[in-house]
Amino acid sequence: MLKRIYDWCIAAADKPYALWIMAAVSFAESSFFPIPPDVMLLPMSLARPQRAWFFAGICTVASVAGGVVGYGIGALLYDSLGQWLMHIYNLTDKVETFRQSYAEWGAVIILLKGLTPIPYKLVTITSGFAGYDIWLFILCSIVARGGRFFVLAVLLNRYGDFIRAELEKRLTTWVVIGAVVLVAGFYIAYRLV
C-alpha cells in the first residue's frame, strides 16, 4: 500500500494540479492542518530534482501566507476558533506560558520552531494571540520556513537520485521514521511549550 501511495505521489509530481495541492497543504499546515507539506515536497522534488528550488519557494510563500492566517486566528478569533484548534491538539494549557515567553524571546521562538517538526500552527496562532509584531513575525517566518524548505531542496537537488533509490529500497522504514518525527514534534510541543 505504501508503495502505491509513493508511486502515485511521484507520478502526480508532473500533473498540473500537484503544485496547487502542495501549496494548499503548505498553507493549511501553518494554521490548522496536521500534515506537513513535506509529504508533497519530498516526492515532487524526487521526481523532478531540478525543480526542487521552485517547489521550496512555493512551500515557503504558501506556508508564510498560511502563517498570517494562523496569526489572524490568534489575534482575532482566539476566543472561539483559536482555542478550539489548541484544544484539538491538546495544547490549551501551554498557550499562556508560550505567550508570556514572547516578551523576551519572540523572534528566537519563531525561528527555532519554524525549523523543527514542532507544529508551526502553535507558533502562528500564539504569535497573533500574544500581539507579536506582524511584520517581524512575517520576516521570521520567511527565514524559518524558507530555511527548512530550502535545506530540503538543496539535499534533494544534489542527492535526489541517491535519496530516491534509498527511499524506494526501504520505503516502510522511512515512512515509519517520518511518522515518528511528526508524532515527536507534537509530543515536544505538548511537553516543552
CA distance 36 to 29: 6
Give the C-alpha separation, 156 to 179, whole Å.
Answer: 20
Distant-in-sequence, close-in-space partners of 121: CB < 8 Å, separation ≥ 6: 29, 30, 31, 32, 33, 70, 85, 89
Q: Grid coordinates standing for 58? A: 512555493
Model pLDDT for residues 59-105, shown as the tens digit of each residue: 999 999 999 999 998 888 877 777 787 777 676 777 677 667 777 78
Which one of 153-162, 169-178, 181-190 scores highest in mean pLDDT?
Answer: 153-162
**175 neighbors 2 (Cβ within 8 angstroms):** yes
The model's confidence at residue 41, banded by pLDDT at 50, 70 and 90, is confident
